Amino acid sequence: MRWVFAILAGAMPALATISGTVVNGTTGQPQSGITVVLLRMGPTGPEPGGDGKADAQGKFSLNAETSTQGPTLVRATLDGVTYTKLIPPGMPSEGLTLDVYNASPKPGSTKVSKHLIFFDPTDQGLVVNEAYLFSNDGKTSWNDPQNGTLRFYLPAGAQGKVQINATEPHGMPLREPAAKTDKPDIYKVNFPVRPGETRFDLSYTTPYTAGTPYAGKVASNDENTYLIVPKGVSLAGDDLNDMGEEPRTSAHIFGLKQASYKISLTGTADPSAQASDASGDSGGQDPGSQLSEVMPRLHTQLTPILALAFGILALGFLLLYRTPVEGKAGTGQQVARSSSLLGVFRAKGAKTKEPSERRRG
């Protein structure tokens, strides 16, 4: 019967001491008196695992059952913003450091360093995937519940239906709602932008007839915005910086010079691009290892283009948008194709210059 008890013991949560220090990254000092909450992964998701307060030196110590089915989460909230420390199974749970930051309704040093807009015409309409990379190089979180941290344009044809995932630094994507603003077709998302890199991913569908004008705008103060179409789709418009094709998927990339644009699209995504990408064996390497081949090798612009190649691959849709937007369902093949084509945009953390001299009207 020993083996029975061994199996039962292995299936039960393990008791462990979870200890560490909460440090205020804004002041550089321990954060005293803050409540520390534990969450452990259970069969149906996160479950409460206990809580306690940090002492005058910011130290905490909790005896709790750790998760055997996933990571244990250590959380603390300051100025309305929650910060999380993830403890994978089998990793040390003592001597942890949980960083928290003061928050402000002003953006401070936060900026939108990259904004990608991917257009994919389908039989169900025009599927648009957008990704924003926020860089916060300061020591204060930006939290503005009244005005939101992300403001974006949603065409009237989308009928207010948009899927949004927000990812905090070193975190997992979380589904977030959008709210209307007092400006027509401009929406906002209330999600704190913590120090580091925060990503927002949007997906929506709007009616579109091939070859007709499609107008859009950028509601956020972006540094670099790119319009992207898959292989088989042609994009035409004024005041765009044609940056050529990404060689792995043949997606065509354009730098946006203004805060608004009017384009026309013809064609449909070439299924061979998806098939080629899916069947290609990268030898287990990250797609970002091919960064030097992303931009066209224009001899007169080789240096800035190669520099840009390391920056434009800043965002990944690989794990996102595997299901269509509710009420605007495309085929599973279309969604997989978009994810595959956008999978090359992986974060590398390199600095880049603007693709164009954009002027805000």
CA-to-CA distance for 335 and 41, rounded, in angstroms?
A: 30
So where are the chain's domains?
2-101, 111-342
Residue 177 has pLDDT above 60, yes or no: yes
- Supply the pLDDT for residue 325: 44
Mean local confidence (pLDDT), 86-104: 92
pLDDT band for 308, please (50, 70, 90 cuts). Answer: very low
CA-to-CA distance for 183 and 10, rounded, in angstroms?
A: 57
Residue 280 has pLDDT above 50, yes or no: no
Domain 2-101 CATH (choose: 3.40.228.10, 3.40.50.300, 2.60.120.260, 2.60.40.1120):
2.60.40.1120
Residue 320 has pLDDT above 60, yes or no: no
pLDDT band for 284, please (50, 70, 90 cuts). Answer: very low
Mean local confidence (pLDDT), 304-319: 37
Residue 196 has pLDDT above 90, yes or no: yes
Q: Which residue has the higher pLDDT, 278 or 153?
A: 153
What tokens does 154 get? 């949603």
Counted residue by residue, the chain has a size of 361
Mean local confidence (pLDDT), 52-75: 85
CATH of span 111-342: 2.60.40
- Supply the pLDDT for residue 47: 84
- Supply the pLDDT for residue 260: 94
Q: Is the dihedral of CA 94, 95, 99, 100 positive or negative?
A: positive
Same fold, 2-101 and 111-342: yes
Among left, alpha and beta (phi > 0; psi -120 to 50; other), residue 67 is beta
Condensed to tens digits (0 to 9), the pLDDT of residues 108-141 reads 999 999 999 999 999 889 999 999 999 999 999 9
Q: Is the dihedral of CA 152, 197, 149, 38 positive or negative?
A: positive
